[in-house]
Amino acid sequence: MIVTPTKLESCVLIEPRVFQDDRGFFLETYNANRYREAGVPLTFVQDNHSCSKLHTLRGLHYQIDRPQGKLVWAIRGEILDVAVDIRRSSPTFGQWYSVILSSENRRQLYVPPGFAHGFCALSEGTEIIYKCTDVYSPAGERTIAWNDPTLAIEWPVETPLLSPKDSEGVLFADAELFD
């Protein structure tokens, strides 16, 4: 597998080794030893599967009480995946990174605990899977506005499909962040 550091501290792009022939393909989506060696040292305790309509935008989500690291990949279609460093003590605090994850490129993005995460579906019926390092905590969930002017994330759509929760995200300046 190829591991590429991103501009954000501890956030890495992973390209698993794919074995492909005339029958199809095989790849290892996760191996604790290999991922630990690649700088993804945490244990995952929950797997999530999401399906989204074209131009659905989910995020920017995080949990303040039980921060989750996430290993994200698309199994159908493609997304623009976004990680935002919201750790005040980090040298990359307030910076974001985006990458296309698709069923074609089979890339994965590791988003460490202490980051906000979001994505936009770039195809109809996009499905993603992501492993989490902690369980879902509804009481601790927070949402930063997807279109926050301070972050100025370059989303691929101007009027995405949003949930009520994502429509009501707070500005980055007003968000409860990590020290």
pLDDT bucket at 89, cuts 50 / 70 / 90: very high
pLDDT (tens digit per residue) in 24-56: 999 899 999 999 888 887 799 999 999 999 999
Kindly state whether residue 25 falls inside one of the protein's structural domains.
no
Domain carrying residue 125:
43-174
Structural domains counted in the chain: 1
pLDDT bucket at 115, cuts 50 / 70 / 90: very high
Check if the beta carbon of residue 126 is closer than 8 Å to that of residue 52.
Answer: yes
Kindly state whether residue 124 falls inside one of the protein's structural domains.
yes
Look at residue 40 in the predicted model and tell me its pLDDT. Answer: 85
pLDDT (tens digit per residue) in 118-175: 999 999 999 999 999 999 999 999 999 999 999 999 999 999 999 999 999 999 999 9
CA atoms within 13 A on the CB side of 69: 17
pLDDT (tens digit per residue) in 124-136: 999 999 999 999 9
Kindly state whether residue 2 falls inside one of the protein's structural domains.
no
Kindly state whether residue 76 falls inside one of the protein's structural domains.
yes
CATH number of the structural domain spanning residue 85: 2.60.120.10
Look at residue 1 in the predicted model and tell me its pLDDT. Answer: 92
Q: Give the C-alpha distances (Å, rounded to integers) separating 109 from 10, 117, 130, 165.
A: 11, 11, 9, 24
Which member of 35, 62, 97, 130 is catalytic? 130
Kindly state whether residue 170 falls inside one of the protein's structural domains.
yes
Look at residue 57 in the predicted model and tell me its pLDDT. Answer: 98
Check if the beta carbon of residue 166 is closer than 8 Å to that of residue 57.
Answer: yes
DSSP 170: B
Which member of 61, 97, 110, 117 is catalytic? 61
Kindly state whether residue 112 falls inside one of the protein's structural domains.
yes
97 included as an active-site residue: no
Cβ–Cβ contacts within 10 Å for residue 27, how many?
13
35 included as an active-site residue: no
Q: For residue 118, what are its two tokens?
A: 């979001």
Q: What is the reported pTM? A: 0.95
Instruction: Answer yes or no: is pLDDT of 22 > 80.
Output: yes
Most distant CA pair in the chain: distance in Å?
53
Kindly state whether residue 31 falls inside one of the protein's structural domains.
no
Look at residue 76 in the predicted model and tell me its pLDDT. Answer: 98
Kindly state whether residue 60 falls inside one of the protein's structural domains.
yes
